């Protein structure tokens, strides 16, 4: 980058003062030869490990849906408007 590629823009600091600050565009930035970013770091667990964990999880309770229906029914009818008192 040379100083010829640096541009100046005026920035207000919230008051009456303004100042010129140097700016460059992304096109002016060059990565030197031999420097590469490489592959991005892997995040999280590998898919195979996640699938193994899910396979070990307990299966759903077949009576769970019936239990939830009873809980909902015990609460009574919902209010006609979401803003009404329940």
According to DSSP, the residues that pair with 20 across neighbouring strands are: 10
pLDDT value at position 32?
A: 72
Asked whether 15 and 42 are in contact (CB, 8 A), the reply is no
Contacts of residue 19, Cβ cutoff 8 Å, sequence gap at least 6: 10, 11, 13
pLDDT value at position 19?
A: 65
Which one-letter DSSP state was computed for residue 27? G
Query: Which residue is associated with the tokens 């490489």?
Result: 38
pLDDT value at position 55?
A: 93
pLDDT in tens, 2-38: 555 455 556 566 665 666 667 777 777 777 776 666 7
Its pTM stands at 0.29
């Amino acid at each position: 980058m040379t100083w010829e590629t640096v541009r100046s823009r005026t920035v207000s600091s919230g008051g009456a003062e303004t100042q010129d600050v140097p700016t460059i565009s992304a096109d002016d930035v060059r990565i030197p030869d031999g420097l590469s970013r490489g592959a991005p770091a892997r995040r999280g667990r590998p898919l195979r490990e996640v699938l193994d964990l899910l396979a070990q999880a307990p299966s759903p309770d077949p009576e769970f849906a019936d239990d939830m229906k009873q809980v909902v029914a015990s609460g009574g009818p919902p209010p006609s408007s979401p803003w009404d008192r329940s």
